[in-house]
Amino acid sequence: MVRTLTAYTNGRSVLLMLLTGVVYFVSARLGLLLAFEHTNATPVWPPSGIALAAMLLFGHRVWPGILLGALLANMYVFHSNQAAELPVITAMSAFISVGNTLEAVCGWYLIRRYIPGNRIFVQTGHTFIFILIVLIACLVSSAVGPLAVSMAHVVSWGDYPLVWFTWWLGDVTGMLVFAPLLLAWSKPLRFNWSWRKRAEVAAAYLLVLCIGSIVFLCDSSSDLMFVQPYVLICLLVLAAFRLPHRELFTCLLFISFITVWGTIRDMGVFASVSQHEGLVAAQLFVLIMAITILSAKAAIDERRHAVDSLTEAHRELQRLMAERTNNLELSRKRLAEQQRRMEDLLAVMLKNTILDFSARAPVSEKGDELDALAVGLNTMAEELESYITRLKDSEERYRLVVENVKDYAIFMIDPQGYVLTWNEGARNIKGYSAEEVIGRHFSLFYTKEEIERNEPEYNLKMAMKHGRFETESLRVKKDGSLFFADIVYTPLYDSAGNLEGFTKITRDITEKKRAEEKIIRLNVELEQNIAQLEMANKELESFSYSVSHDLRAPLRAIHGYTKILSEEHKASLNEDARRMMDSVMANAVRMGKLIDELLAFSRLGRKELVKERIDMEALAKEALREVKEARPEHKADIRIGKLAPAHADPALVRQVLINLLSNAVKFSHAVSSPAVEIGSYTEKGEIVYFVRDNGVGFDMKYYNKLFGVFQRLHAREEFEGTGVGLAIVKRIITRHGGRIWAESKPGEGAVFYFTLPNGKAD
Amino acid sequence: MKEFEIILVDDSPEDTDLALRELRKCNLVNSIRTFENGQQAYDFIMEHATDGIPRMVLLDLNMPVMDGLEFIQRIKADEKTKGIPIAVLTSTTELPDIKESLRMGVKSYIPKPIVIEDVVKIAVDMGYHIQIVRKD
């Protein structure tokens, strides 16, 4: 309720409502001028169409305007005509206006209910429904109105059917003429027409007005008068084909107006005795015209719309077809081009299959799969071409190499053993030329005995079993002579694993065999010699041992008794005898020493070398300590430099160092400031140890005697010693596989160098 | 055999003579019995050895019939005699044999020619109380 009130307080709604009321009132007033005998039943009733249009355009809320307009118009007309007392007039008018309002509401409701949207007059079906709704809605008003006036005795009940029909006809005609017209004009005006269109509309208006005037405003006595309305129908139907709704409905209004106007003025085709009858006839004409035009227009529009849709669909179809055709054409062209490119590629592939890799597939700028394929194909062909070239070169080189090998017979035989190839070496070794031997069986090269033993077949079988077979055996040359051969058989298989044949490489090893035999013979002899030598050596050593031992016993006796003589019989000896006794003893001692050293020297040969890593500096210090103990009187400045470690027998190397240091100290004893140095250096990857002194030195022309046993370069009176020390040193160094040498000049000192192999390994 | 406290075995009569002459310098000389080879010494010891007797054997190695090493081996093999102290008489020529004898259980050696001080020193090392009385 509140909502409804709020809706009515909306200014625009009220305004529309009032506008509707005023328009309704005015048009009702005009319509009622033509009412039937003060009954307010008029055959011309535009308000019914105005009310329906207002409801449809502005909404159902305008109904109070309609009610008010209708009430006031009826009351005013009844009152002017003095049809009845005021209360009756008021009651009648109230009934009638309620009927009018209900008529509009009913029409509005049914249209809204059964015709979707606002497109009432463009579809035949909707137009027919509209007409039907109008016919039904007007029953409401025509049911209420005549009943009211009849009950008020304004008309007699006998006139009731006429009044009812007039009422209904007026409402229907008003609705069918004015509602479509107002709805059409309510749409926004558009004047984008061509001149032709405008001329056509103007011509239509003119024609309708003229013919309408002729039909309805001329003298009714004309003979052809009754025909003329049909001309108007024909004209309007034609107009329906050409004019838009608004102009067409305007034409209908013109005709309707002229018809009513002419009939009222007793002119035209419907002029008759009674103005009311004439008006009813005229309104019927208008009604028929309106129904015809509405239907025709809807049918025409529908058809045109269908044609337009069809045309549009057709155009769309054509456009699509054109597009498709175009696409198809493009596809066809593309396909044709791709086929051409595929053919190019196939041509290249075909060449490749016959191992011709010179051809290249064309590559377009497109960069598609075919191009990728072409590039791939080209790369493959290039690589294969270069590979085949290399392979051919390599094969050619290999063939040349094989053919020109002179020291090896290299040839191929087929799986059955028939010679296939022959090289220079084969010719040299076996004596056959290629022409003589190719095609012959390889058992040709075997001796009779070997052929009888099935040696050729056995050799091939072994080669197949092991992948390779090597043998050393006697073979036959072309001239029948034999040679000792080293032969290698290798089976050859193709990629499928089928045996293709064998390669046979033969080398003449007769000379080698002879040399080997000689070496073996020499080795045996050598071994025998060595054994003999070793035996001799052992005998010698055991001899020298027993000699030494046996020599010592008499020496001890000589020394012992001489000593007793010189001590216990001192008194009975004169000075000269005593001196001779001393000499005998000294010599016995010295001889003992000589024997000891000789024994030590010979023992060196027997001793096993026990090699280990030696810290040479520590060993030198130890040796020096011993030398100093043995020679406490020495005054030499002895320096031990950097000494590389060695890998040798420590006891023996110690002896070497003792002997060399002892010599150095001994022979430098006489000089004013004796100096001895021991050190090492690396030369050509070899470690060289040295012992240097600034002593008396020696003359290099006696160098060959330097390392000899019992060889002395100095007088014994000058420097004591047995002459075995350096011989022992040399023997030890030599046994280690090293070298020893010395450099000196008389009076300028001496340097002794030695090396120990394996020393560098550490 | 109390008086034979030391046995000297050497095939060389000169060496034996010189040894006796040396030993004669002190009061030990009457306690020494000499043999020419290992066999004789061995036979004697087997026959006469008693507990603690002989006190010491001075043994040359290189001898005919039975050499020093065999003698040591036999003495050491017998339970009765294996405790007898043996000192090997050496010359510098017999180094390997000396080593062998040491390996067989000999504890001392005396270099030839025998000097009385060496003998006394070894005897003292063996635990004997010996006093040398020099005659000269």
Q: pLDDT of A511-543, one tens digit each?
A: 888 898 899 999 999 999 988 888 887 777 777
Secondary structure string (H, E, C) spanning A582-628? HHHHHHHHHHHHHHHHHHHHHHHHHCCCCCEEECHHHHHHHHHHHHH
Chain B: nearest CA to A608, how far in angstroms? 14
CA distances (Å), origin A579, targets A299, A490, A553, A566, A683: 181, 94, 24, 9, 55
- Say if residue A258's pLDDT is above 90: no
Inspect the interface and report whether the beta carbons of B18 and A560 lie closer than 8 Å.
yes
Band of residue B29 on the pLDDT scale cut at 50, 70, 90:
low
- Say if residue A199's pLDDT is above 70: yes
Inspect the interface and report whether the beta carbons of B18 and A599 lie closer than 8 Å.
no
Inspect the interface and report whether the beta carbons of A548 and B93 lie closer than 8 Å.
yes
Reading the block at residue A710, the tokens are 């019992």
Q: Closest Cα partner for B22 from B96, B104, B124, B112?
A: B112
Mean pLDDT score across all residues of chain B: 78
Inspect the interface and report whether the beta carbons of A557 and B18 lie closer than 8 Å.
yes
- Measured between beta carbons, which residues in chain A are less than 8 angstroms from residue B14? 553-554, 556-557, 560-561
Considering only A55-64, A244-253, A256-265, A731-740, which range has the smallest mean pLDDT? Answer: A256-265
Inspect the interface and report whether the beta carbons of B93 and A561 lie closer than 8 Å.
no
- Say if residue A140's pLDDT is above 70: yes
Average the pLDDT over A569-583 and give the result.
85
Cβ-count burial A650-670 (b if 16+ within 10 Å, e if not): bebbbbbbbbbbbbbbbbbbe
- Say if residue A229's pLDDT is above 80: no
Residue A347: per-residue pLDDT: 87
Q: pLDDT of B48-70, one tens digit each?
A: 777 666 778 888 887 888 888 88
First to last CA, chain B: 28
Chain A: nearest CA to B111, how far in angstroms? 11
Q: pLDDT of A630-655, one tens digit each?
A: 888 878 888 888 888 888 888 889 98
Residue A716: per-residue pLDDT: 65
Which of A181-190, A392-401, A525-534, A751-760 reaches the highest mean pLDDT? A525-534
pTM for the complete prediction?
Answer: 0.42
Residue A493, H or E segment: strand A482-493
Contact between residue B20 and residue B32 where contact means Cβ atoms under 8 Å apart:
yes
Burial class (CB in 10 A: 0-12, 13-18, 19+), B69: buried
Q: What is the DSSP string of A724-748?
A: -HHHHHHHHHHHTT--EEEEE-TTS
Q: pLDDT of A704-720, one tens digit each?
A: 888 877 777 776 666 77
Contact between residue A286 and residue A262 where contact means Cβ atoms under 8 Å apart:
no
Average the pLDDT over A410-421 and give the result.
90
DSSP state at residue A400: H
Chain B: nearest CA to A559, how far in angstroms? 9
Inspect the interface and report whether the beta carbons of A556 and B91 lie closer than 8 Å.
yes
Task: Please tell me the distance from the alpha carbon of residue A611 to that of residue A354, in angstroms, as a whole number.
Answer: 73
Q: Best of B92, B99, B134 to disrupt the A interface by mutation (most A CBs within 10 Å)? A: B92
Considering only A172-186, A200-214, A536-550, A573-587, which range has the smallest mean pLDDT? Answer: A536-550
Q: pLDDT of A328-376, one tens digit each?
A: 999 999 899 888 888 888 888 888 888 788 888 888 887 788 888 888 8
Reading the block at residue A323, the tokens are 């597009």
Inspect the interface and report whether the beta carbons of B93 and A552 lie closer than 8 Å.
yes
Chain B: nearest CA to A621, how far in angstroms? 26
Contact between residue A169 and residue A284 where contact means Cβ atoms under 8 Å apart:
yes
Contact between residue A282 and residue A177 where contact means Cβ atoms under 8 Å apart:
no
User: What percent of chain A clears pLDDT 90, i.e. is strictly above it?
Assistant: 10
Task: For A353, list phi and psi in degrees, rounded to 5.
Answer: -65, -25
Strand partners for A744: A750
Residue A642 region by backbone torsions, left for phi larger than 0, else alpha for psi between -120 and 50, else beta:
beta
Considering only A129-143, A728-742, B2-16, which range has the smallest mean pLDDT? Answer: B2-16
Band of residue A683 on the pLDDT scale cut at 50, 70, 90:
confident
Residue A76: per-residue pLDDT: 83
Task: Please tell me the distance from the alpha carbon of residue B25 to that of residue B29, in angstroms, as a whole number.
Answer: 8
Q: Closest Cα partner for A358 from A312, A404, A334, A389?
A: A389
For A563, name the nearest residue in chain B, comparing CA atoms only: B18
Q: Tell me what ipTM this predicted complex has.
A: 0.72
Inspect the interface and report whether the beta carbons of B18 and A556 lie closer than 8 Å.
yes
Task: Please tell me the distance from the alpha carbon of residue A242 to that of residue A412, in angstroms, as a whole number.
Answer: 108
Mean pLDDT score across all residues of chain A: 84
Q: Which of A554, A556, A603 comes nearest B112 by C-beta?
A: A556
Q: pLDDT of B74-124, one tens digit each?
A: 888 888 888 888 888 877 556 667 778 888 888 788 888 888 788 778 877
Task: Please tell me the distance from the alpha carbon of residue A75 to that of residue A643, in angstroms, as a whole number.
Answer: 155
Residue A6: per-residue pLDDT: 47
Residue A724: per-residue pLDDT: 79
A-B contacts (CB, under 8 Å): 42
- Say if residue A327's pLDDT is above 80: yes
Task: Please tell me the distance from the alpha carbon of residue A301 to that of residue A125, in angstroms, as a whole number.
Answer: 12
